[in-house]
Amino acid sequence: MTLKEILDRCRKLQIHEVRSENDEYHEIVIYNKDIDEWSRVLTALLGPARKPKGVEPTDADLTLTRASGGIRANQTLFECEFPNGTIVAKFWPWEDNVHTTLKMALLS
């Protein structure tokens, strides 16, 4: 599984902004109105959220996400191991309640 393959599964969903896009890291801004659909796709590909929104992160969650900015209680974390590495995906909701940053990384 690659980060591009994940985004290809979501191409019908609107993206507000593409901030970074390469083989190891994607950062995009999405609309909260589509968050349920993004969650559905990520759950189908990566499994249920490792750390759901509203749950305090564990030390293991913090270690896993350190290189990509960490993880907070109001954020969601997905993780799945693949032969080519571990993919992590995080929802970082904005205070405007309209946007969320989706950060995805391929960890080797």
Q: Where are the alpha helices (DSSP H) in 47-88?
A: 59-65
| DSSP type of residue 57 | P
Q: Is the CATH number of domain 3-107 3.30.530?
A: no
Positions in the chain short of pLDDT 50: none
Domain extent listing, the chain = 3-107
For 82, the token pair is: 């693949």
pLDDT one-digit tens code per residue, 10-21:
989 999 999 999
The reported pLDDT for the residue numbered 108 is 84
Give the bridge partners for 86, in sequence order. Answer: 81, 107
Which pLDDT does position 6 carry in this prediction?
94
